[in-house]
Amino acid sequence: MGIEYKLNRLDTSGVGPLVDRHWRELREAKEKGQKIAWSSGPLFIYAYATPNMASHFMAGYAAYCGGRGMADEVLEAAERYGELRDTCSYHRLHTGMMAIIRKGWPISDERVVLPIPDLLIAGRFCTEMSHYMEGIHRRFGIRAVTIELPVCRKNEDRPRVEKYVTAQVKDILIPAIEEVSGSKFNEENMREIFRKWKETCIIRNKCWEFLKRKPALWTMWDYGVSIAPIFYAMGKPESHEYYVNLLAQLEERAAKNIPAVHPDGEKYRLYWDGWLPWAFLGKFIRMMGPHGAIPVTGRYPWEFFPHPEDINPEADDIVHEWIRLLYTSPNALAYHDGPWGGEEHVEKLLQDYSVDGMLFFSSKTCRLWNLGQQEIIANIERKYGIPGVVIDGDMIDSTMVSEDQIRTRIEALLETIDARRR
């Protein structure tokens, strides 16, 4: 009889109310006289720092819908409106929601319907993020601002791209935010968010250290859920409290030697690449947990957001500081998200977190990472002998997720790890 592995989840119940509160405030923002911005990509911070403006974040909304079990219903609305299935599911989710508003279609959970925004901000990090803005602009005539945020191919490209992005933010985005919100962009507000956020992220990083331990004291699943407070309550006391509590739980586990996997810790330490499958987290946990397999690190969750040690809230040019973080800081998102910088980043995570195998989640409708994934697996396997597999699916669209196929590939990976251990 084999070992019966079971996950010891941390108490992350503080996330739900915090997330609900964020979206409730967004739904009520207009009544309070605030303007609403919808943002894709990492530029939402500029709207977030504007006092008269409430800000939505595209991927956050997708996670919210997925978590509420509402993604399929909203995606169906998009399809009824004419969207094609091969289109990015985040795009369809937003255009589906707009179709529900426009057509007055009923929806079983009204909480996923947001007010029509006053401004659309597309941080064109992923080019498709701008397409949904364009669609909404065409259909509703809402003002759209698009800022090109190219992922860098080479290290030497980073400074000049950073300069270009900064110029766009200053010339186009800030004036648009000021015009729509009717208030001057508040630099001090942004600094204050950064100061508090930095404190929270330093605690977050301490929590990460417990994932490096063997056996690990928690898993990437619990961290995936815990990304929300960093986004939704950026710079707010409740975000800080959440991480103080998380760290306390981990310190207690460390003192009592309680591992993340019952009874004696994990059998397989895995790396996770690509988006988190928000609507199917439970499914993935159940597919891996009984094998004693846990993801302990991953590119996407470790990128959000730039490491706190890189933030300087007192920088002379605070507008530029955010772009610097994305482009030329040591942990630059806009470099690590491309396959060139990505491979370097993955290598580092594999070493830091003592990984046995790699799972590359390839979204069928989001092509941000999937073109380089097979190359990265091959290169890393050649260099370090760490095996990896690609699993196809989607973050929220259940029609794109085949549980059996995913289970087979996960099991194949675990068998490969076993074979190499013999």
Instruction: Check whether the bond before 290 is cis (ω within 30° of 0).
Output: no
Task: Look up tokens 């710079």; give the residue.
Answer: 235
Is 76 one of the binding residues for other proteins (CB under 8 A)? no
Q: How far apart are CB 20 and other proteins at their closest, in Å?
A: 30
Contact 147, 173 (CB under 8 A): yes
60 contacts: CB under 8 Å, gap ≥ 6: 22, 228, 231, 232
32: exposed, middle or buried (Cβ count in 10 Å: 0-12, 13-18, 19+): exposed
Work out how close the CB of 15 gets to other proteins at its nearest, in angstroms, rounded to a whole number.
30
**Minimum CB–partner distance for residue 65 and other proteins (Å):** 19
Applying CB under 8 A, the span of 68-76, 162-170, 249-257, 290-298 interacting with other proteins comes to: 162-170
Interface with other proteins, residue 39, by CB under 8 A: no
Q: Nearer to other proteins by C-beta: 243 or 361?
A: 361
CB of 123 to other proteins, least distance (A): 12
Please name the amino acid found at residue 239. S
Position 245 contacts other proteins (CB under 8 A): no
Closest CA to 295 of 342, 190, 225, 230: 225
Q: Is residue 118 within the footprint of other proteins (CB under 8 A)?
A: no
Helix (H, G, I), strand (E, B) or coil at 187: helix
Q: Is 364 in the site for other proteins (CB under 8 A)?
A: yes
Binding mask 86-115 for other proteins (x = CB under 8 A): xxx--x---x--------------------
Q: To the nearest whole angstrom, how small is the minimum distance from the Cβ of residue 172 to other proteins?
A: 6
- The CA distance from 407 to 133, in Å, is 36
Determine which residue in the list 47, 49, 70, 83 makes contact with other proteins, applying CB under 8 A.
83
Residues numbered 305 to 344 that lie near other proteins (CB under 8 A) are 338-340
Residues 5, 268: contact at Cβ < 8 Å? Answer: no
Across the strands, what pairs with 38? Answer: 56, 120
Burial of 308 (0-12, 13-18, 19+ CB in 10 A): middle
Tell me: does residue 412 bind other proteins (CB under 8 A).
Answer: no
One of 2, 32, 33, 84 touching other proteins (CB under 8 A): 84
Q: What is the DSSP letter of 418?
A: H
Cβ of residue 46: shortest distance to other proteins, in angstroms?
16
Q: In angstroms, what CA-CA distances link 176 with 50, 120, 163?
A: 12, 10, 19
Contact in structure between 414 and 357 (CB atoms under 8 Å)? yes
Does residue number 138 form part of the binding site for other proteins (CB under 8 A)? Answer: yes
Q: Which is nearer to other proteins, 138 or 286 (CB)?
A: 138
130 counts as binding other proteins under rule CB under 8 A? yes
Report the 10 Å Cβ neighbour count for 383. 11
Choice between 111 and 153, CB closer to other proteins: 153
172-231 residues in contact with other proteins (CB under 8 A) are 172
By CB under 8 A, residue 151 contacts other proteins:
yes
Within 7-109, where are the H helices? Answer: 15-28, 44-48, 58-67, 71-81, 89-103
- Check if the beta carbon of residue 278 is closer than 8 Å to that of residue 197: no
Residue closer to other proteins by CB (options 229, 339) is 339
Which residues of the shown chain bind other proteins in the complex (CB under 8 A)?
81-84, 86-88, 91, 95, 124, 126-128, 130-132, 134-135, 137-139, 144-146, 148, 150-151, 153, 157, 160-161, 164, 167-168, 171-172, 338-340, 362, 364-365, 367-368, 370-372, 374-375, 378-379, 390, 392
